[in-house]
Amino acid sequence: MTIPFGHALAFAAALFVLGLSCVLLRRQIMMILIGVEIMLNAASLVFVAASAYWRQVDGQIFVMLLMAITAAEVAVALAMVVYLWRRKRTLVADEFNGMRG
Amino acid sequence: MSLLDLLALLPILILAFGGTAILMAGAWYREPRPLLAGGVATALIAAVAAGMVQPPTAEIAGLFSAGGYARFFTILWALLAAAGLMVAARYIMEKGLGAGEYVSLVLYAAAGMALLSSAIHLLGFFLALETFTLAFYILIASNRRCALAAEAGLKYLLMGAVATGFMAFGIALIYAVSGTLALPDAARLTTTAGELLPWGLLGWGMVLIAVGFKISLAPFHLWTPDVYQGAPAPVGGLLATGSKGAVVAALVGLLAMSGPVWHDLTDLLWLLAALTMLAGSLGALGQKNLKRLLAYSSVTHMGTLLVGLLCQSSEGLAATTFYVVVYVLTSLGAFAVIASLADERGEPMAFDEWRGLGHRHPVRCAVLVLVLLSLAGLPGTAGFMAKFAVFQAALQSGYLGLVLVGVFASVVSFAFYLRVTMLLFQSEEPASPRHAGTASEHAVLAACTAAILVFGLFPGILFDLISRILP
Amino acid sequence: MNHSLLFLIPLLPLFCAVINLLFGMRLPRLFAEVMAVTGVAGAFVLTLIFWGHAEGEGTRAVLFTWLNSGTLDVSFALNFDRLAAPMTLMVTGVATLIHLYAVGYMHEDDDYGRFFALLNLFVFAMLVIVLADNLLVLFLGWEGVGLCSYGLIGFWYRKLENAKAGTKAFLVTRVGDVFLGIALLWLFALTGTLSIDAINDQAAAIPSGVVIALSLLLLLGACGKSAQVPLMTWLADAMAGPTPVSALIHAATMVTAGVYLLCRFFPLVSLSAVAMTAITAIGALTAIYAATCAMAQREIKRVLAYSTMSQVGYMFMAVGAGTVAGAMFHLLTHAFFKAVLFMAAGCVIHLAGDENDIFKMGGLARRGPVELFWVFLAGAVCLAGLPLTGGFFSKDGILLALFTHPDPVYRVFWLVGVLTALLTAFYTFRLVYLVFAGDYRGAGHPHAIPLLMRWPLWPLALLGLAGGLLNLPAFVGGGERLHHWYGALAGREVSASHDVEWMLIALAAAIAAAGWLAAHWRYRSYRPPLENRASRFLLSGWQADALVDRLFVRPFAAMARFCSSGCDRTLLDGTLDGLARLVSSWASMLVQLTTGRLTTYLSAFAWGFLIVLGWFLIKLVNGGGH
Amino acid sequence: MTMLASLPQFPWLSLLVLLPLGGALLCLLHSGRAAECRALALATSLAVFGVALYLFVCHGQGEGRWLLYEDSAWISRYGIRYVLAMDGIALLMVLLTAFMQLAAILLAWKVERQVASFFALLLLLESGLMGIFLAYDLVFFYLFWEVALIPMFFLISIWGGVNRRRAALKFFLYTLVGSFFMLVAMIALYQIHGGQTGVYTFVIGELLQTRLTATQEGWLFAGFLAAFIVKSPLVPFHTWLTDALTEAPAAGSLDLTGLLLKTGIYGLIRVAFPLFPNATANFLPILGVLALVGLFHAAWSAYHQDDIKRLLAYSSISHLGLVVLGLAAWQLTAWEGSILLMVTHGITTGALFILVALIRERTATRSMQELGGLWGQVPCLAFFFLLFSLASLGLPGLANFAGEILVLLGTFQDHPVWAVVALLGVVFAAAYMLRLIQGVIWGPAAKERSLPDLTPREWLMLLPMALLVVWLGLYPEPFLAPLHGTVATLLAGGLP
């Protein structure tokens, strides 16, 4: 029983919009990063669905690589978060507005 | 990945493994000078390899092409990395940063850019893009002592992450619609037309958003001034030239291979190009900080580049490639001047730090003036030939409206560039003198000046080279 | 003798002028004076030598091409013919005597180099006008004369009103030059050439309407230079210059240049009766206007200036009446006696301790050398037109021409002429009585009058008195030598029955006597000047200056203010600065967008996404047709 | 046009353009020692003047369309060629540039701040001007058109007067907007020509044969016009000139008024009119009216000024209005008069600017209230001031009159009303010039000062100009001779 392709797409789209709104609405850096992760997972979902629909393995390989890249990105992001916490003792994104105009 | 593929990938391998080797060496041997020399040597060797070695196969594992176009840009990015390292030498030594880490990151970034420029497969495109973006996340925040650097790093990181999200989802949609990730066919979207096409276009739209962030197109450009101001000048130089240039090179390569495929996207691109040019030039008008001004000016230039891409004619692509090469050289020159003037009090950024510096450092300020005038598009400099080529291509494809917006942007850009040049040679209450600059910086500056004048007065050389390498 | 030697006549004064200009101040004063006088005297002698060339058609000398472009081919050419010869002789002769007088007059002035250079330059320019063969060379002389009068009037530039008078003279004459310029352009367009003789020959071919317009333009051009009614306000103020200047420029030469121009173009002008009437009307109007103003003047030189204006009016009437010989006759005699009067006035001013106001003089006959009174009287007698004097015959000739003119309206002009003759006699003798009769009313101590200021007066006085012999009318047994000398150029043959001529002569004599008696009755015993509105009105030359000021000067200045601050500063610069402010306001709006906070940057992403979604929906709606 | 193969003779024109450039670079190399820079600059400008004189004497009377023609490939991709062509008009302009440059360098002898870069910029400006007058390829022309702006911009913004920066920026941007429209029009013409004949080139000689529809021609002509109208300041676009001139340093204002203003009109004659004959034909009446309005507006404004430099700026605009009127009359004599007037105006107004600079050096003021009575204090300087003011006033026998009378005579043939109105403008010229003369020379001295009279250097500057002014006034024949052929061809639709 394969799930129709449209449903998977719709679900992934919903997931993507969820991630995006999490990025836009939350003020903590950590929550923004989590939002980004949700968006990436939505993309992986579409890949898997498409790979199933097209009966090709490209999508899944892409998902593997996507996970690797996401891991690298999260590593760097968390290092940055730790570094920022040690500097400013706050993780609210809008605190960092030293430069403007 | 047969042996032949590896041989075709040689220059990028040299960069990658060279970087790793220097990273490892840096762990034991802290002395920065040899590491820097090693980095520059690696970059130069990679450039020579890309130039000399004739790649046996045209494509590498279906992901990257090894044709003339790719090798041209590999040479360019390798040379850029070498120049970036030479400019950053004094900065690393004075700030006491880890020479090994800095050099390896720059080399990885160079490798990423070279890969991106030769990407013929969405996966390769995505991978290459992410490699050098990650490298830049760290490079921007490398100066631990400066709070602004951290803030710039954060902004670049978060925006980059969101862009990656969009990119991934975009590629996914394209894949869903077209069933393939190889660029020429994915771009054409003709195979499975019918009712799914708009979703494919949405996919390309979202890829465009990610690209928009990367080369700071209009609504996505707000991070640019803060990141350029925060990042140290040598990193800013690479960021402004390399990361943007590579993406545009990739797009040009894509369009060159698949022919005019973006006819559905033209009205969106038209809007973005106009918005970008206006936002960039008007934004720069009110600036009081040179690096922020350069950021906005790079936004304007990206708008003009988009006009070149929009034409989708062979003229347009040749003009865009010429424009990218010229833009890379001139922006590098600008940031190199700022880096060479930096001293213990930091880099001269605000306008009153620049007032009257022309009297103290006449030669370098003259170079800066030449660079600014080239960015503005004064005839006789390479900038003019680039803008002339793009306008000519745009007019040929009938985009008179965009050309007029370009003219308005050029006039406004002349205004703020000339305001800076007047500032430099102001005689009343001049700023205190800055650092005299080292030999390597002067070498880079000399190279950039020579490039601006040579490509300005004798652009035939570059035009012939480009028409040979464009597929 | 080679024709191009003719060029020596104008070039000699020019050469001396340049020498004086460059080395005048460095070399001893005597050198400058000798150079100046010899320059003009040399020209006088040369004119006599070349007198033979003037007979018949006259000789034309060409130096080199001046302007050659397309159909235009103008060269520096002189035409020494019957009309030019006597005029040249008069100009150089009177100028020589006036130069001698000037040497004495300017004795104490230290800026003599510039003075003599300008005086010589003036003579050069005047000779160029007289001898010009084509209109462009005439225009060169025309403006040159204007420049020299500007320089000489404003000679004592330290006092601002002198400089202002000079500027006013230059500007008003420049207005006249514009009309001459228009005539020049039109003639070139019509006839394709600028040579005066060629124009006169083709005059018949020009349509009558155009001839009238051209003549009126020439008339207005002449009025500018000869200070006739519409453009006469500068002459009175021109008295600010030194007296020899007034004598030379504003008596003998420059003011007559207008008459000479009309005589030169007589064949063209005489074609249209309307133009001739206009010329006569202008002449008559100026004559009566100047005569009335002269009556109320307080300064000696201003009286003489207005009288000059009036006499030139007579010459215009003569040209209008068709007799060129009559006009030139009056021009020559007037040059002699007016020069004498001005020079004598110079001596009188010296005697009265540099006092100009005649009501502060009186009894000067006894204070200075006795012959000064007699020479002044000789000039005055000629001016008043007492019988047998030069002035009498020349003025009577004009009145005769007016009287016998076929057109009835000339009778009116004749009447005006007679009335002006009466007024002339009155103000002349008013001047004589106020200056010489009674006892000295002024406070100044007399300067000694150098010999050179007294000696040159006599020849001119005699020439003035004996001027009549030049063109003695036939019925008195005269040979009308001037009329025959001009031959074809002389214009209408004036002839009338004997009793008409005797009646006119008697009338003229009676008028002169009446004028004298009136002045005698009025000013024999000194009476202070009557101060009423009429006298102030006349003193200020019928409020002409105020009129010109309100009509032209003030609106010009207002327009200037409007143009420069109104248009340029507010309108043009305003729009530019407004544009600049608009663009920079856009810029500041945009800059506020980068607030520095991350959330705004991410929301920008959202806006970007919305744009793409919107564009995507459009594509979705129209079926993604591609 | 059969391309006149560049005859294998000495590249005089390239020498004219590159010699000042070389001089400028040498000046920069000697930036340390001021005396050497001055000598170097003088030597270069003398050499250029020598070359120009030689060309005037030896190559003055060629018969064909061009006296000298140099052509070689440059950017073959766009068909841009390195073409330098000299006809009669270019010859006169080159001679004027060389002469004025000599005067400018002499005038700039007493500059102290950054002497080397001042002279380098002056020489760069000269090279730019030579390029504008000689280039016959649109992009090459555009290159020099902008390159000439940069030195002027720096001269004003660094060595200028009080609010020099605003004036410099306004000057640059004003001409820039115009030239950008020209660039777009140039590219469009290039593409249309390419489309029609398959030959993609920017050489004006080739582009003359493009057959354009009325609307195309109208728009392209408007593009070129935008650049040239702004530069030869026709009235509504002239406010940049008055600011730039009053703020520019002495030598800068000399070059600005003497030469840069001529480039606008020269561009009209050489580029705009020949390329678009029909659009020109129905634009001429508008041009004539604009010129007249300019003539009067500038004359009135000049009358109202107190600063003598600003007054002279307005007088320049008024004179150039007359020049443009001559061009609008489209008649041989009028054109020759205009070109002659351009040369003579360069000399007379240039000399007046020199004198204003000398007066400012001595009395440190330029306002008429504080000047006056200079004749007593500095007679020689005052004499020259009088001579050149009278020349600028159009006194017959002096330089400007010859040009003005030719323009008026030529214009009267077809447009009598224009000529009469222009003649009236000449009276206005007398009004403001006399006010200037009276304010500066005559009248009581506002402040008693003991002023040094002319030094030998100043004599060296002014005497040749005075002699030239008199010579041009009395015998302009040698300067008119080269024009006859060129003007005739340009007027006849100019298909060489």
At residue C625, the pLDDT reads: 47
Reply yes or no on whether the pLDDT at D8 is more than 70.
no
Query: Between chains, do B268 and C605 touch, taking CB under 8 Å as contact?
Result: no
At residue D495, the pLDDT reads: 44
- Chain B residue numbers touching A77 (CB-CB < 8 A): 137, 157, 161
Confidence band, pLDDT 50/70/90 cuts, at residue D2 = very low
Query: What is the rounded CA–CA span in Å between residue B217 and residue B159?
Result: 13
- Please give, rounded to a whole number of angstroms, the shortest distance from the CA of C28 to a CA of chain D: 18
Question: Tokens representing A71?
Answer: 């891991």
User: What ipTM is given for this predicted complex?
Assistant: 0.89
Confidence band, pLDDT 50/70/90 cuts, at residue D58 = confident
User: What number is the average pLDDT over the span D320-338?
Assistant: 93
Query: Between chains, do A73 and B175 touch, taking CB under 8 Å as contact?
Result: no
Query: Between chains, do C72 and D170 touch, taking CB under 8 Å as contact?
Result: no
Query: Between chains, do D408 and C160 touch, taking CB under 8 Å as contact?
Result: no
Domain boundaries, chain D: 283-489
Confidence band, pLDDT 50/70/90 cuts, at residue D320 = very high
Query: What is the rounded CA–CA span in Å between residue B216 and residue B163?
Result: 11
Look up tokens 């001049």; give the residue. Answer: B430
Which chains lie within 8 Å of chain A at 3 or more CB pairs, if any?
B, C
At residue D3, the pLDDT reads: 46
Query: Between chains, do B264 and C612 touch, taking CB under 8 Å as contact?
Result: no
E-state strands within D246-356:
none
Query: What is the rounded CA–CA span in Å between residue C576 and residue C568?
Result: 11
The rounded percent of chain C whose pLDDT value lies above 90 is: 39
Burial of residue C527 (number of CB atoms within 10 Å: 0-12, 13-18, 19+): exposed
Q: Does C595 touch chain A (CB under 8 A)?
A: yes
Residues of chain C with pLDDT under 50: 624-626
pTM as predicted: 0.91
Range(s) of the domain holding residue A53 = 8-88
* Domains contained in chain A, number: 1
Burial D239-263 (b: 16+ CB within 10 A, else e): bbbbbbbbbbbbbbbbbbbbbbbbb
- Whole-number CA gyration radius for chain A: 17
A100 falls within a domain = no
At residue D348, the pLDDT reads: 94
The rounded percent of chain D whose pLDDT value lies above 70 is: 98
- Label each residue of B39-106 as H, E or C: HHHHHHHHHHHHHHCCCCCCEECCCEECCHHHHHHHHHHHHHHHHHHHHHHHHHHHHCCCHHHHHHHH
Query: What is the rounded CA–CA span in Å between residue C439 and residue C352?
Result: 12
At residue B196, the pLDDT reads: 67
Cβ neighbours of residue C509 under 8 Å, at least 6 residues apart? C386, C387, C392
pLDDT per residue over B11-30, tens digit each? 999 999 999 999 999 888 88
Using CA atoms, how far residue C430 sits from A37, B88, B389, C515, C555, in Å, is: 119, 104, 91, 9, 40
> Which residues of chain B have a Cβ shorter than 8 Å from any chain D Cβ?
359, 362, 373, 378-380, 384-385, 388-389, 391-392, 395-396, 400, 403-404, 407, 410-411, 414-415, 418-419, 421-422, 425, 427, 458-460, 463-464, 467
Query: Between chains, do C601 and B219 touch, taking CB under 8 Å as contact?
Result: no
A98 falls within a domain = no
Using CA atoms, how far residue C24 sits from C18, C114, C115, C120, in Å, is: 9, 7, 10, 12
A18 falls within a domain = yes
pLDDT per residue over A13-66, tens digit each? 999 999 999 999 998 999 999 999 999 999 999 999 999 988 888 889 999 999
Q: Which helix (H) or strand (E) holds D68?
A: strand D68-75
C598 vs B155, B166, B209: nearest CB = B155
Query: What is the rounded CA–CA span in Å between residue D370 and residue C429?
Result: 48
pLDDT per residue over D120-158, tens digit each? 999 999 999 999 999 999 999 999 999 899 999 999 999
- Chain B residue numbers touching D153 (CB-CB < 8 A): 418
Residue C571, Cβ neighbours under 10 Å: how many?
13
Q: Does C158 touch chain A (CB under 8 A)?
A: no
Phi and psi based region of residue D75 (left: phi greater than 0; alpha: psi -120 to 50; beta: remaining): beta
User: Is the separation of the CB atoms in D204 and D138 below 8 Å?
Assistant: yes
Query: Between chains, do B268 and C615 touch, taking CB under 8 Å as contact?
Result: yes
Question: Tokens representing B247?
Answer: 């993406």
Confidence band, pLDDT 50/70/90 cuts, at residue B261 = low
Confidence band, pLDDT 50/70/90 cuts, at residue B213 = very high
- Show which of residues 543-582 on chain C sit within 8 Å of chain D, judged by CB atoms: 556-557, 559-565, 567-568, 572-573, 576
User: Is the separation of the CB atoms in B45 and B14 below 8 Å?
Assistant: yes
Query: Between chains, do A101 and B127 touch, taking CB under 8 Å as contact?
Result: no
Query: Between chains, do A96 and B180 touch, taking CB under 8 Å as contact?
Result: no
At residue D152, the pLDDT reads: 93
* CA torsion through residues A88, A89, A92, A93, sign: positive
At residue D5, the pLDDT reads: 47
At residue C624, the pLDDT reads: 45
Query: What is the rounded CA–CA span in Å between residue B402 and residue C481?
Result: 89
Query: What is the rounded CA–CA span in Å between residue B470 and residue D279?
Result: 41
Reply yes or no on whether the pLDDT at D374 is more than 80.
yes
At residue B266, the pLDDT reads: 84
pLDDT per residue over C539-586, tens digit each? 888 888 888 888 888 998 898 888 888 888 888 888 989 999 999 899
CATH code: domain of residue A31? 1.10.287.3510
Residue B421 identity (one-letter amino acid): T
Phi and psi based region of residue D157 (left: phi greater than 0; alpha: psi -120 to 50; beta: remaining): alpha
Reply yes or no on whether the pLDDT at B281 is more than 60.
yes
Q: Does D480 touch chain C (CB under 8 A)?
A: yes
User: Is the separation of the CB atoms in C345 and C300 below 8 Å?
Assistant: yes
Confidence band, pLDDT 50/70/90 cuts, at residue D6 = very low
E-state strands within C35-101:
59-69, 72-80
Reply yes or no on whether the pLDDT at D1 is more than 60.
no
Domain boundaries, chain B: 1-155+224-254, 262-471
